[in-house]
Amino acid sequence: MQEIWRSGYEASSVKAISEKLGITRSSYYNSFGTREDLFRAVLAAYFAQSPDRALHESIPDQSVRLLISDTFRKVCAARGCDPEGRGCLAINSLCELAGGPQAKLSTMLIEAVLTSAARFEMLLELAVARGELDADTDVHGKALALQSLLIGINTLSKAVRNEEELWLAARTSLEALGVYEGEDASL
C-alpha cells in the first residue's frame, strides 16, 4: 500500500513491486494475483484505515455536524503530519487513472467518490430530521460541497503540510456551509 500510495499505480508495476519486495514475478502472482487484484486489496486496506472512515460507519449517536467536523479535523491531522505529503491514495489514483486504459479501476474509484457524496447526503438528511439543520437545507448541494472539500483538503495537503493551515481551510468551509460544530463554533 505504501509503495502504491507513494509512487502511483502506473509506477507500481509487477516488476517494480517484485523487486521492491525481493520476490520473483511468479511469487508476486501467487501472492497477490494480478496487479489489479493487488490494487483492489490495497484500496480496501486504505479505506479501512482512512481518517474519514467514521463517516461510513453506522448511524452516529452524536450530532451529525460534530461527526462531520471531527472527521475533517482528523483528515487535516493525518494529512498535515505526513512528511511525504502524499494526500489521499484514492484521490491520487483517481486523478492518475481517470479516462485512461484502466477503465475498471477508474470506475471503481469514481464509484467510491460518489458513494462518499451519497453518504454525506444521507448524514445531512439525518441532521435535518434531528433538527440540527433547517428543514429547507439543500442537502444534495451541501453533500457535494462536503465531498469537494474532502477532495480539496486531500489535494491541498500535497502542498500545505501543516495541520493547522489545513484545518483553517476546512473549518472556514464547514462554517460557511453551516455544518461546523465544535467547542469554538461561532454559530
| Euclidean distance between CA atoms 170 and 141, whole angstroms | 17
Residue 185 has pLDDT above 50, yes or no: no
Residue 147 has pLDDT above 80, yes or no: yes
Residues of the chain with CATH 1.10.357.10: 50-177
CATH code for the domain defined by 1-49? 1.10.10
| Euclidean distance between CA atoms 124 and 114, whole angstroms | 15
Q: Classify domain 50-177 at the CATH topology level.
A: Tetracycline Repressor; domain 2 (1.10.357)
Which residue from 55, 168, 185, 187 is spatially nearest to 121, judged by alpha carbons? 55
HSE at residue 64, side-chain half, CA atoms within 13 A, is 23
Share of the chain above pLDDT 70, in %: 97
Task: Give whole-number Cα distances, 26 to 20, 36, 37, 42, 167, in Å.
Answer: 14, 15, 15, 19, 45
Which residue from 123, 155, 157 is spatially nearest to 139, judged by alpha carbons? 123
Average pLDDT, the chain: 94
Average pLDDT over every residue of 129-151: 97
